[in-house]
Amino acid sequence: MKRIIVLNPKGGSGKTTIATNLAANFADAGYHPALMDFDPQGSSTRWLKKRPKDRAAVHGISGFERSVTVTRSWQLRVPADCSPVIVDTPAAVDSTSLPEITRGADAIIVPVMPSDIDIHAAAQCIADLLLIAKIRRADDKIGIIANRVRSNTLVSQSLMRFLRSLDIPMIATLRDTQNYVRCAESGLGIYEMPRWQARQDLDGWQAIMDWLSDRRAPLRPVADNVLQHNAV
């Protein structure tokens, strides 16, 4: 089971956009992803409720909710046939909780927006992942996404210079487009939109999916998992 953490303590960085699109993209590709929502706003959970019934299934886990009738481990359980598990983390995550949040992660994606505040927050986030969560650079688990970038603006150029200065891979640049608003409103992912409408965004997402496919714990589509199980 592959575990993908979408993380940035700065609110409004695009964590939910990344998490929901990852879930939709994996589902569309034949996997059975689980989307675990720890954000108290429940944005990923709302997206999942809007997802059309005729689309590939995404298993939802509302981690931000608390139940007095079941244990926490039971509430957060992931079905055995689900992979990957995509975790949408909350804003304002305390640095001391990073070791627990990132434990068992095969990939950690940090979305960064083009603003001075976001750049500073991203720098601190990367430092905390390395120094507090003890994520080793050599493990190559951390990837940065430049999110909602408008080309040829000064602030976007500043963001790109900052990202190039880090010894952390920048895996994709996602443009600022209403397509993500449409996806959020319809429960869809970029890959599921009409190709003519989303074609400018597909290269960025293909780069993300390619990077994830190179992480440890390789994924197999649901059909392959079933075949392998039946063969045993």
Place of tokens 């990939």: 107
Q: Please give the mean pLDDT across all residues of the chain.
A: 87
Count Cβ atoms below 10 Å from residue 76 Cβ, excluding itself.
14
Residue 218 has a pLDDT of 54
Point out which residues pair with 173 in neighbouring strands: 146
Between 111 and 229, residue with greater pLDDT: 111
Q: Which amino acid is at 200?
A: Q
| Sign of the torsion formed by the C-alpha atoms of 195, 149, 34 and 224 | positive
CATH architecture of 3-231: 3-Layer(aba) Sandwich (3.40)
Chain length of the chain: 232
**Which tokens sit at 171?**
């895996």
Residue 221 has a pLDDT of 59
Residue 231 has a pLDDT of 35
Count Cβ atoms below 10 Å from residue 155 Cβ, excluding itself.
15
Summarize pLDDT for 122-169 with one digit per residue, the tens.
889 999 999 999 999 889 999 999 888 877 777 777 777 887 788 888
pLDDT at 56 over 60: yes
Residue 232 has a pLDDT of 33
Summarize pLDDT for 189-209 with one digit per residue, the tens.
999 999 999 999 999 999 999
5 burial via Cβ count (<10 Å: 0-12, 13-18, 19+)? buried
Domain map of the chain by residue range? Answer: 3-231
